[in-house]
Amino acid sequence: MYQRSEVKRLREQIATECQAMNQALYGFASGAAAHNFIVARLQRVDICWHQLEVHVGEQEATRILCELYDEAMH
């Protein structure tokens, strides 16, 4: 049960970070501030991906990340 809720939490965190990156890319912010914001979000996604990898394995963690990124960017 704990593992399932942790995977759900990590999925939600990755989705939130990807949505924030989308807003930074296509919203009103631009320049160095947007770049720094996106880099910070990518670093958080990387941390979440590594945590997710512990629970579901590298291949599944990568699949989930790609799915959430694709959803957020389209």
pLDDT, tens only, 29-64: 666 678 888 899 999 999 999 999 999 999 999 999
Per-residue model confidence (pLDDT) at position 47: 97
Mean pLDDT of 1-20: 90
5 belongs to a structural domain = no
CB distance 29 to 37 below 8 Å: yes
16 belongs to a structural domain = yes
36 belongs to a structural domain = yes
Where do we find the tokens 């990755």? 14
CA atoms of 38 and 2, how far apart (whole Å): 30
Around 44, how many Cα atoms within 13 Å sit in the side-chain half-sphere?
A: 18
Percent of the chain with pLDDT over 90: 68
2 belongs to a structural domain = no
Is the model more confident about 25 or about 69?
Answer: 69
1 belongs to a structural domain = no
3 belongs to a structural domain = no
Tokens of 54: 């512990």
Domain range for 60: 10-73
User: In the chain, how many domains are there?
Assistant: 1
